Amino acid sequence: MLSIRQLVTNERQQYAGPVPLTLRQRNRLDAIHRIMDTAMDLFDERGYSDVTIEEIAAASGVSPRTFYRYFGTKEGLFTADPFAAVGVDRFSGQIDTGDLPGTLERLVALIDEGPGASGGGRRTSWRGMRYVMEEPSVRAAVYGALDEEAERLTVLLRDAGESPARARVIARSCMFGAYFGALEQWHLDGRSRPLRDYVREGITALTGQTAGGRAQA
Amino acid sequence: MLSIRQLVTNERQQYAGPVPLTLRQRNRLDAIHRIMDTAMDLFDERGYSDVTIEEIAAASGVSPRTFYRYFGTKEGLFTADPFAAVGVDRFSGQIDTGDLPGTLERLVALIDEGPGASGGGRRTSWRGMRYVMEEPSVRAAVYGALDEEAERLTVLLRDAGESPARARVIARSCMFGAYFGALEQWHLDGRSRPLRDYVREGITALTGQTAGGRAQA
DNA sequence: TGCCGTATTGACAGCATCTGCCAGTTCCTC
DNA sequence: GAGGAACTGGCAGATGCTGTCAATACGGCA
């Protein structure tokens, strides 16, 4: 069974080329989106913790067992979607150990785009941002997802020549500091200024330099 | 009812001055340490997920209800202790926005000391490190604790003159990157080299400078 | 020392989350 | 169109976690 992340990635890639989904896959993807939308409706209406999975399943027309098969946990509603599936994998060519500010900015920009969403992928995920920020359990789950991405990024940085300790610290600072920290401030400020500005400001805070620099590996 | 963190802080402060604990507080603190030790024994023996709270409680001589009163959750065994209670509160005088590398290093050094453990506080917490690193749910809980500390640190940095975005990114990078990242690499390397070396190496990775500099606010 | 008010604990009931299992159904492939 | 695989739903059950309340142990005071 394809994971939600794989399904979404395939769906997104349809913008760029023909990656056809089977009927089964399309049905499941529809159900997934329906469940997520329904859940957000219920959350907005009565609050996150006062909505049970049983209710979400009933309102979405699936059995509770299916909900768990799809999302694993209640928090999976937030980590299964593109928001957390930042797709660090595509960074390998973007790392320049000689230009850390530039590298960081490019990485975060790529993360922000999501997994291949070049053609205006829907941003349903932003709807759940409120609960990511406000519900500790959801926040913890998202941190777990960021952690996995940071682990992948660590490997890439090591392959690019960084020492293990340096790679680990840079990767975590990128994901939790530059990315999530900027995201949170952006959210707190009412999402008025562009997210990119926050990222850039945060990166310069770390490096003490102005984030210019180009260079492509 | 005093929180575990408050109790431990009081206990630690006995090294510096007379902060007597009542019999009730001592009994509870004993029970807390007994439960934690017993739990680690069981975890080492059969693995984290295969040990139920009921078993921990029975082996520790308390009721399950008491376990929950003490720790809240199973993961609370790891976040209630000094490892996570890093005590960012004492940093206010340590921040120098003109010397970020030095500030970071001092902050992490203070965190590493724990809450007032100047007189050789016990480090029972290191015993649970393995599960912090290996069990996703424990890791997520510790991240939650780090998150709270990062929030406190953000406030301090803002008070010191940093912009909201910069303060947030620096605080998160400090806690998740410089601190936890270094801790993880140190653990992965068998805890041979001093932790401080990893922290210093990671900080220079972020700032691109050698971490020297003094200055006290 | 002995008593009383309060803090703390244990026991019970109950809800929600999450998993294993298996039968029935739908869809893909040949 | 037939066989096989993928998928769903329902059931039972374990575990995590919380509210409640009576019973007990402690601390303060006479």
Kindly list the domain boundaries of chain B, sorted by start residue: 23-86, 100-207
User: pLDDT tens, position by position, for chain B (217 residues)?
Assistant: 667 667 666 655 444 444 567 777 888 888 999 999 999 999 999 999 999 999 999 999 999 999 999 999 999 999 876 544 455 555 666 777 667 777 777 777 766 665 443 333 444 457 888 999 999 999 999 899 889 888 988 998 898 888 999 999 988 998 899 889 988 998 899 888 887 788 888 888 777 654 333 333 3
pLDDT value at position A199? 82
Between CA B217 and CA B142 the distance in angstroms is: 30
**Is B140 in the A-facing interface, judged by CB distances under 8 Å?**
yes
Between CA B173 and CA A178 the distance in angstroms is: 8
Q: What residues approach strand D to within 7 A at the CB?
A: A 1-2, 24-25, 27-28, 31, 61-63, 65-66, 69; B 22-24, 27, 52-54, 64-65, 68, 72-75
Tell me which chain A residues have a C-beta less than 8 angstroms from the C-beta of B160.
none
Partner residue opposite A166 with nearest CB, options B168, B189, B202 = B202
Taking only Cα atoms into account, the Rg of chain B, rounded to an integer number of angstroms, comes to: 18
What are A191-204's pLDDT values in tens digits?
888 877 888 888 88
CB atoms within 10 A of CB A88: 24
Which ranges constitute the DSSP H helices of B64-179?
A: 64-71, 76-79, 100-113, 129-134, 136-159, 164-172
Q: Residues with Cβ < 8 Å from B213, sequence gap 6 or more? A: B99, B101, B102
Of B157, B16, B15, B4, nearest to B69 by C-alpha is B4
Task: State whether the beta carbon of A74 lies below 7 angstroms from any atom of strand C.
Answer: yes
What are B54-87's pLDDT values in tens digits?
999 999 999 999 999 999 999 999 987 654 445 5
Which tokens is B145 given? 């604790």
CATH superfamily for domain B23-86: Homeodomain-like (1.10.10.60)
8 Å CB contact of A172 and B171: no
The count of CB pairs under 8 A between chains A and B is 133
> Can you give the pTM of this predicted structure?
0.83
Residue showing tokens 């975590």: A172
Between CA B33 and CA B25 the distance in angstroms is: 12
Q: Can you tell me which residue has its alpha carbon closest to the C1' of nucleotide D9?
A: A63
Between CA A102 and CA B174 the distance in angstroms is: 20
8 Å CB contact of A201 and B166: yes
Q: Whole-angstrom distance between the N-terminal and C-terminal Cα of chain B? A: 36
Between CA B166 and CA B133 the distance in angstroms is: 29
